[in-house]
Amino acid sequence: MSDSRNQALPVADQPAVRRYLRDLFRRHPRPVLFALGLHVLAAVAGLAAPRLLGGLVQAVHDGTTTGHVDRVAIVLAGFLLAQTVLTRFARLRSQVFGELVLAELREDFVDNALDLPIGVVENAGSGDLLTRTSRDVEQLGYSVRWAIPEWVIAVVTAVTTLLAAVLVGWWVLLPCLLGVPPLVVALRWYLARAKDGYLWEGRTYSTINSSLTETVEGARTVEALGLQQLRIDRVDADIAESYRAEKYTLSLRTRFFPSVETAYLIPTVATLLLGGWMYLHGHASLGDVTAATLYVQALIDPVDRVISILDELQVGGASLARLLGVAQVPEDRVATGRVPVDEKIDATRRPVQLRRGSRRPARRGPVDRDRRADRDGRTVRGRQVDPGSAARRHPSAAHRVGHRRHRRPDRAPAR
């Protein structure tokens, strides 16, 4: 049974992943621009509410009529309805584009998997390839269908909300900038560790699948050689390694998200304090302070979604790197153009060396196919046979597969 720990399939590096995504989006520019335009329109429609509410507060403070309040309420409802419709079609186009991208990713992966040299597949084990075709494809599909569209919506909403807040007054930038340093520090710390952590997590799942698949496929050999406890210990060790990887990524999240949640509160509190001071000194109106506070408060949700979905994108990026790594396997042989003269195999002129992967040679030397087994059974058609090798490798199975030099008592001697 192979050791999948040392013979796993390669993983694509970050430049290769970015290059693949860039080429993928270049092939479909119109769906990307159309979906992005719908997201921008939906975000702009949602920005009308804080401005209208701020103007309504100022109008009530100065004195207004109920008719004006009713008109503002109707206009506000119209913008909310437009935002709902635009968001619906924007998400629809984004998810359709996501399905298109996922279909191309699957086709590319299947083509690359079918082009793998058979020797590489045997050395890597079926568990690694099985994990990439199941768990990695599922994680990537979740990222493409949901995470990427929602992340784009959050980014567009955050940018447009910040621009609308700045239009209220330049002073709104000051409290917003106070929340940037904690976010930058937390993001740099998290992104420096998240990718390697999720790649480690994916490797542990491949190792578990390889161990289980090899044990199931070789169940008769395991039972014949008495390797049950060895295989159980191997699976337990793989599960323990996977637990350590899961614990590591969980520790990253438990330290990252509380720090960014604290950073969200700083701009809102600072906007209220600075806006109140400017209103008391006559530098800003009550409507401007209200609109600015609502904009900064509305900025929390898209920024929180951008950072929260970033974790899902890290998982999807790690899965994509593992899928693209299948295409980076080099060929294990080169076509020479030589053709056989006849069907005869002549292995007597030069030494023949048999290998199993990267292990030591199983047999070295010339082969004489006319040789037969001698009286001790040590050679069979030129192949060296050591009747005690299985017993030396697995002493516990010596009574089953060990060499027996004596005839069975219930069998008559051959004549």
pLDDT tens, residue by residue, 223-251: 888 888 998 999 999 999 999 999 999 99
As a whole-number percent, the residues of the chain with pLDDT over 90 amount to 4
Q: Residue 287 has which token pair? A: 């409507």
Q: Does the pLDDT of residue 369 top 50, yes or no? A: no
pLDDT tens, residue by residue, 76-86: 888 889 888 98
What pTM did the predictor assign?
Answer: 0.60
Q: Which of 195-199, 324-328, 334-338, 368-372 has the lowest mean pLDDT?
A: 368-372
**How far is Cα 235 from Cα 211, in angstroms, rounded to an integer?**
6
Contact 124, 9 (CB under 8 A): yes
Determine the pLDDT at residue 383.
42
**How far is Cα 34 from Cα 40, in angstroms, rounded to an integer?**
10
Mean pLDDT, range 166-174, rounded to an integer: 84
Q: Does the pLDDT of residue 258 top 70, yes or no? A: yes
Q: Provide the residue ranges of all domains of the chain, joining segments of one domain with +.
A: 14-202+249-328
DSSP string covering 117-150:
-HHHHHHH-HHHHHHIIIIIHHHHHHIIIIIHHH
pLDDT band with cut points at 50, 70 and 90 for residue 413 = very low
Q: Does the pLDDT of residue 402 top 50, yes or no? A: no
As a whole-number percent, the residues of the chain with pLDDT over 70 amount to 78
pLDDT tens, residue by residue, 205-223: 888 888 888 888 888 888 8
Contact 165, 284 (CB under 8 A): no
- The identity of residue 342, as a single letter, is D
Q: Which residues of 125-148 are buried (b: 16+ CB within 10 A; e: fewer)?
A: bbbbbbbbbebbbebbbbbbbbbb
**How far is Cα 272 from Cα 20, in angstroms, rounded to an integer?**
46
Mean pLDDT, range 372-400, rounded to an integer: 42
The domain covering 14-202+249-328 belongs, at the CATH homologous superfamily level, to ABC transporter type 1, transmembrane domain (1.20.1560.10)
